[in-house]
Amino acid sequence: MTYGLRLAALIAVVALLGTATARAQVLPSEPVALAGGRITIGGDVSASIGADDAGFFNYTDYDHAALRVLTVDLTTSITPNPHIAVLGEIRDELALLSLPGDENRNTVRVYALYVRIRPWIDRAIDIQAGRVPPTFGSFARRVYANDNPLIGYPLAYQYLTSLRPDALPWNADELLRMRGRGWLSSYSIGNQEAEAGVPLVSAFRWDTGVQLHAASAIVDGTVAVTTGTVSNPRLTDDNSAPQVAARVSAHPIPGLVLGVSGARGPFVSSTAARGAVGDGHDRSFTQTAWGGDVEYSRGYYLLRAETIWSQWKIPALGAPVVDRPLTAMSTYVEGRYKLRPGLYVAGRFDHLGFSDVVGSDGPQTWDAPVTRVEVGAGYSLQRNLLLKFSCQRNTRDGGRVTNSTLAAAQLVYWF
């Protein structure tokens, strides 16, 4: 779709949503059911307009600023019988308030497409194969705008580090030159074109593979084998070895959910590994991630917290040598409180830190630590039409821009 056509579509969507309160019956409020309920079609639209993020604090791995983007999702479920379902989602993104060109190419994509098989109707056990839902972490399961009380995303799931799976630094100095430059980093080994780095865990891409899920009244477990890693989910394999990921959660009392996650798989592509150390090392350079999360809700309030630790092994090449795995740890705490029906306030505190490497000028964190505080509010114009406002403060120890204060508004509609 050309930029002009997509801009026209955006204007039409905003005009429709803007008059929804006066014409609430115009917008469907439930998924559309066809063929006696065997086919259902749903979707959501979110339009976010915020301040210019000159520091790229909210840049995502699909080349968009999370505070300035229109996202349109269309989901479909086909259930020929109680044992089999085919589920898919198509997503389109349009950068708002930007120039025609670079940021709006090739953003229509298949976000999810998988087959779900339930061997026993009376047991909560299913097998999923294809481009499957996330296994790791808690926020990745509520990434849609109507599930997020704020407009921004937790740093672990969105903020781009300087690491890339297709390019490697020759030494510690080359790595340190990219501190705070995850939105556009470049290295001398592998793909030498400047490209975006990866987050600890991607919230914007689903991985491809096979997933097994089982649940009981108290415990819920998922294990998956996929082609990519949690920071670099992929449609096709690029290093001839899979990732294994698992998550177990428990809800021992009403309102309380406790979860742990783990994942490990080769991170560096075969091409980059071969350029660094020759053949036969595809499986040597891995990403290992661990996560823990808690959620508690009662009455008018909801509290969540999550910690993610990630380690990447990359080749030790020239001096000064990167002689140990690179690690990062992120922790966020968020809360929401309902002031009255349809109106709430929310806040999130978030920090992302990195381990040290020793360069020519001594030890330094391999990427620039970031802290984010975001507060906001939301008001339901109708059950499935939500208006949100937020203000975000980012600070970073490095990069061209070390701090920014960003305000944004978002309108979300789903059916």
Question: CA–CA separation, 134 vs 54, rounded Å?
Answer: 30
Residue 3 has what pLDDT? Answer: 41
pLDDT, residue 4, reads: 42
Distance from C-alpha of 69 to C-alpha of 388, rounded to nearest angstrom: 14
- Containing domain of residue 312, as a range? 53-60+123-414
Q: Which one, of 248, 245, 187, lies nearest residue 216 by Cα? A: 248
- Residue 354 is assigned to a structural domain of this protein: yes
In terms of residues, how long is the chain? Answer: 415
Q: How far is CA 61 from CA 147, 172, 185, 289, 353, in A?
A: 20, 24, 12, 19, 19
CATH number of the domain to which 407 belongs: 2.40.160
**Residue 75 domain-assigned?**
no
Rounded Cα distance between 32 and 254, Å, is: 32
pLDDT at residue number 62: 78
Q: Rounded CA gap, 375 and 250, in Å?
A: 29
Residue 38 lies in a domain: no
CA dihedral 18→23→25→27, nearest 10 degrees, is: -20
Residue 298 · residue 257 · CB < 8 Å: no
Residue 214 maps to a domain: yes
Assigned domain for 290 exists = yes
pLDDT score at 103: 46
* Residue numbers in the chain where pLDDT is lower than 70: 1-27, 97-107
Work out how many domains the chain is built from and give that number.
1
Domain annotation covers residue 334: yes
- In this structure, is residue 133 part of a structural domain? yes
Q: Residue 104: its pLDDT value, please?
A: 44
The answer to the question of residue 208 being in a domain is yes
